[in-house]
Amino acid sequence: MRSMMPMPGNPWPHDMAISIENHSSPVEELLWIREAYALQPEGDVPPLLVQKPEPAGEPEDAIAWESAWSELWPAAMQHAAGVITGAQIDALMHTEDASDERFAALLALHGPSWRDRFGEAALERGYLEWSGRRFDTLSRAMRQRLPDTPEHRSLPALIAAWEAGLTRIVTIPCRGEHTRVLSGSALLVTEQTRAEPEAYTAALSTFS
């Protein structure tokens, strides 16, 4: 989001550009896998999902899955914190179908994922239904009036964070609070944190 030109009375700095990543497929697949299969991975893991998935059964190998989850999660976070560049898209366009170069270019665009590691099987037991409900939630959120968006309601804190280097906010559909600085330009928050002005202001203040 960005104001394209200076507007009298508009408190949003016209040159401030902030991108919101709220629908990263690799990230949401990992969150769903963890909860649907009752995995207990080690490390800095986020809270449980707001929209609880139905149990999907027993994992094929709980130890291997939990180890892979702990490895994939920070990698998926770092990818979500980045921005796809024109050079990456151009690199994909200049690769041959089914080539190693095409696979590497696709991985650079989409990031590390559960599908690449284990295939589609684990996601066929309820993920599409959960993902559909998730899409409906995002669609409703897009109907907000501009002054009612989280960034406008916490604008002073957002401006201070932007001045400190923030350009990208990654959100996850998890309960409660899980605020993390992902890089010198990206911040992770839960959707519940972003939806509450006081909590969002506090989260943005951790960056600035």
- The per-residue pLDDT for 101 is 62
Model confidence pLDDT, tens digit, residues 37-68: 999 999 999 999 999 999 999 999 999 999 99
Distance separating alpha carbons of residues 1 and 89, to the nearest angstrom: 22
Residue bearing tokens 């041959």: 96
Residue 4: which pLDDT band, with cuts at 50, 70 and 90?
Answer: very low
Q: Is residue 8 part of a domain?
A: no
**Between these two residues, 159 and 110, which has the higher pLDDT value?**
159
- The per-residue pLDDT for 204 is 98
- Does the pLDDT of residue 103 top 90, yes or no? no
Note the pTM of the prediction, 2 decimals. Answer: 0.86
Q: Is residue 10 part of a domain?
A: no
**Between these two residues, 109 and 34, which has the higher pLDDT value?**
34
CA 161 to chain centre: 19
Q: Is residue 3 part of a domain?
A: no
Please tell me the total count of domains within the chain. Answer: 1
Distance separating alpha carbons of residues 17 and 124, to the nearest angstrom: 38
Q: State the pairing for strand pair 168-172/19-21.
A: parallel
Residue among 8, 6, 170 nearest 82 (CA): 170
Q: Is residue 140 part of a domain?
A: yes
Q: Is residue 27 part of a domain?
A: yes
- The per-residue pLDDT for 7 is 45
Q: Is residue 6 part of a domain?
A: no
Q: Is residue 139 part of a domain?
A: yes
The domain containing residue 203 runs over which residues? 19-207
- The per-residue pLDDT for 199 is 98
Model confidence pLDDT, tens digit, residues 122-165: 999 899 999 999 999 888 888 888 889 999 999 999 999 999 99
Q: Is residue 31 part of a domain?
A: yes
